[in-house]
Structure 1
Amino acid sequence: MNVVYASSGGYAEIAGISMRSLFESNRDVEELAVWMVDCGIGGEDRRKLLSVAVEYGRALFFVRGVDPAERAGISVAAGRWHPATFQRLFLGSLLPPEAERVLYLDCDTLVRRPLTPLWERPFGPSSALGVDDCRSGRYAAELGLPPDAPYVGSGVLLLNLARWRREGTEERFLAFLRARGGDVTYVDQGVLNGTLGALGQTGALPPRFGAPTVLFDFPYRDLLRLRRPARPPTEAEWRAAVEDPAVVHFTACFYSGSRPWNAGCPHPFAAEYLAHKAASPWREEPPRPDGRGPVGRLTTAAAHLLPRGLMLAVMSFLHARAYPWARGVKSRMRRRRRG
């Protein structure tokens, strides 16, 4: 099993705790190697990461990350994300040819169950399998796809790198990025869906293989009212994801606000994350301060103060309609200026 992370120096601790949860939950896997794409990891954190791998008798390889702007030849907007998030687009050239199939995990994941059922999943016509991101069809449409096209999150991805290399997929990613002027909604996730979606090469995993925070923050019917997803999970899939997820993805969500490395995080699996931290080389590190600005904190407070129906209506309008519409307008204006 080949597993890949990409981390900056600021996320090395979080990546290390995720990696420990991966090793602990997959002790029975005979061969498991981790590739860490290094986007500025310091020497002390490298030593700590290696010590976790040694503790479990696993192989850990460091690979130097690339500058997406340098690869694309244009300025690339990362928004609130670190450029490390783009690394998964370049895994075909970053990893050796023998890494033909890889499982990519974001640093902010917690692995709770064996991943062999995920690792052995057939690709079918797809070259990338991920959990549907539970978004309105306007996000796919903004990328030039049919509104009902699959739109997968990029936090947990099973990737067919052999096919990517064979078909020149990395250059397709770069072409899409250039065509969008280096500014794509949800950065690498938009590039991946916009490129592979047009080729019919994205496929959905059950949400329990990468359960995002929004699934835990809202009951099923409220989730559908909030997100208006084009391809909603079934209630049984949602329940399996929140009750016994194989992989928890600690994504940011306006309703709960904080994440497990912040003090007082309300996530139902925060305690499991902290248990892994307590057994890791980062056990003495204090909780991180809440990195949200005043607008983020105010949004969380307002979401809990407003009547629930009104809150869902307002946030649904902003997330499912207004934001993708605004991004679409921005893209059209950019294309007109370039044309």
Structure 2
Amino acid sequence: MNVLYTCDNNYVWLMGVSVVSLFENNCLMDEINVYILGENISDENKKILCDIAENYNRKIVVIDVPEIDIPKSLVSARWPLSAFTRLYSGQLLPNEMKKVLYLDCDTIISGSIEELEGLDVLNYIVYGIKDCIGSSYKKNIGLDPDEQYVNAGVLLFNLEKLRRIDIKDTIDRYMIKYENLINYADQDILNGIFNGKIGTIAPQYNVMTIDVVHTYKEITILRRPTNFYTEEELIKAVNNPVIIHYTTNMRVVRPWFQDTNHPFMDEFRKYLKMSPWKNIKLKEMKFMSKEAAIIGLIMKLPKTLAYSILGLLHSEIKPFVIRLKSKWRK
């Protein structure tokens, strides 16, 4: 199976821990080839990655990302260019490769991905796990409330279909209309440009922080999601995760910080200790943003009231403000 990460030199160690977990829990698979679309990865870190591959009798290929012909709107936008590299994977990966599993660096693979290797991807360009996004956000980026919206942290690309489209032109045309309405950077763009061409897979392949920190009822209050998984499907995924995705969520501290409070911190620390970065010094997390401060104040209220307020702010007021700002910029 072919697996893809995108990374710069600062996050090689985090990605490396993910790779160790991938190899550890998929030792029975005949073949796993890891491709890294890298930005300025040092020779020292490339050597460490090669050593990891050799230890597991696997292959890791680091591809130094060339200058990509991307829409000018992305150059001037507030997001790092590295966030969009995966959208160009059809151009950057070997032509003979037909399918690839993309993983964010902040993932731990805690089970077998063998079923994904055999998954039929003929019908859509990309497959992912539904994210808990409400109708107001979807409306902003050109989606109907009941249309699918997937998280961009775990994606299964049909590279043959991806290569048939002009990705630069597709993004360019989308950004002309929606650039000022985007909130989740490349994730919004991916869902917007591939609308109607996205398939879904089971949620255990991308168990996010919000899934394990909150109950299903709390998630519906906080995010007001449409076209989401059922409570039964989500509980099953949380109890048997194959891929854990350490996404940000309010004031939850992720496990690569010293003061972590993440429910799945032990899973990350387990593979960190097995990696070449086992002696890395972890820093403390400091919530410095205004948003984090506001969340902290609201969470001092009774829980039911706090969640209702946070749900209103996140799911309705924030996307409304985005729409207002978009009109001001025109």
Which of 170, 173, 179 does residue 171 from structure 2 map onto?
Answer: 173
For 1:187-226, list aligned pairs within 5 A.
187-197=185-195, 200-226=196-222
In the superposition, the TM-score normalised over structure 1's length comes to: 0.91
For 1:23-38, list aligned pairs within 5 A.
23-38=23-38
Correspondence for 2:259? 264
Task: Assess if the C-alpha contact under 8 Å between 1:101 and 1:160 holds in 2.
Answer: yes
Q: SS of 1:154's equivalent?
A: strand
> Aligned-pair distance for 1:41?
2.1
How many residue pairs match? The answer is 330
Task: Assess if the C-alpha contact under 8 Å between 1:18 and 1:110 holds in 2.
Answer: yes
Correspondence for 1:288? 283
Task: Check if 1:277 corresponds to 2:272.
Answer: yes
- Distance in structure 1 (CA, Å) of the matches to 2:192 and 2:324: 17
Task: Check if 1:137 corresponds to 2:135.
Answer: yes
Cα deviation 1:101-125 (Å, max 9, x = unaligned): 0000000001011101123222353
> Aligned-pair distance for 1:291?
5.2
> Aligned-pair distance for 1:180?
3.8
Structure 2, unmatched stretches of 5+, are none
Q: SS of 1:71's equivalent?
A: coil
Cα deviation 1:223-247 (Å, max 9, x = unaligned): 1111100112111111122111110
> Aligned-pair distance for 1:296?
5.0
Amino acid at match of 1:65: V
Amino acid at match of 2:193: T
Q: SS of 2:41's equivalent?
A: coil
Distance 1:148 1:283, change over 3 A: same
Distance 1:75 1:208, change over 3 A: closer
Cα deviation 1:145-195 (Å, max 9, x = unaligned): 212110111000001111111233453134323544587321111111011
Distance 1:58 1:151, change over 3 A: same
Q: SS of 1:166's equivalent?
A: coil
Amino acid at match of 1:246: V
Q: SS of 2:70's equivalent?
A: helix
Distance 1:77 1:275, change over 3 A: farther
Structure 1, unmatched stretches of 5+, are none
- Distance in structure 2 (CA, Å) of the matches to 1:318 and 1:71: 34
Distance 1:297 1:73, change over 3 A: closer
- Distance in structure 1 (CA, Å) of the matches to 2:13 and 2:286: 16
Q: SS of 1:203's equivalent?
A: strand
Task: Assess if the C-alpha contact under 8 Å between 1:101 and 1:162 holds in 2.
Answer: yes
Task: Assess if the C-alpha contact under 8 Å between 1:212 and 1:251 holds in 2.
Answer: yes
Amino acid at match of 1:284: N
Choose 176-185 or 141-150, whichever is displaced more: 176-185
Which of 299, 302, 319 does residue 297 from structure 2 map onto?
Answer: 302
For 1:1-339, list aligned pairs within 5 A.
1-65=1-65, 71-76=70-75, 79=78, 82-123=80-121, 125-181=123-179, 184-197=182-195, 200-256=196-252, 258-290=253-285, 292-295=287-290, 297-334=292-329, 337=330
> Aligned-pair distance for 1:78?
5.7
> Aligned-pair distance for 1:310?
1.3
Amino acid at match of 1:274: R
> Aligned-pair distance for 1:75?
4.8
- Distance in structure 1 (CA, Å) of the matches to 2:225 and 2:246: 20
> Aligned-pair distance for 1:313?
1.0
Q: SS of 2:163's equivalent?
A: helix
Task: Assess if the C-alpha contact under 8 Å between 2:141 and 2:178 holds in 1.
Answer: no
> Aligned-pair distance for 1:304?
3.8
- Distance in structure 2 (CA, Å) of the matches to 1:273 and 1:302: 29
- Distance in structure 2 (CA, Å) of the matches to 1:141 and 1:30: 44
- Two-structure CA RMSD over aligned residues (Å): 2.0
Distance 1:292 1:94, change over 3 A: farther
Task: Assess if the C-alpha contact under 8 Å between 1:76 and 1:182 holds in 2.
Answer: no
Distance 1:166 1:294, change over 3 A: closer
Cα deviation 1:261-282 (Å, max 9, x = unaligned): 0012122221111111111110
In the superposition, the TM-score normalised over structure 2's length comes to: 0.93
Task: Assess if the C-alpha contact under 8 Å between 2:223 and 2:315 holds in 1.
Answer: yes
Task: Assess if the C-alpha contact under 8 Å between 2:34 and 2:61 holds in 1.
Answer: yes
Choose 126-135 or 46-55, whichever is displaced more: 46-55
Task: Assess if the C-alpha contact under 8 Å between 1:217 and 1:255 holds in 2.
Answer: no
Distance 1:140 1:66, change over 3 A: farther
Q: Quick one: percent identity of the two aligned structures?
A: 30
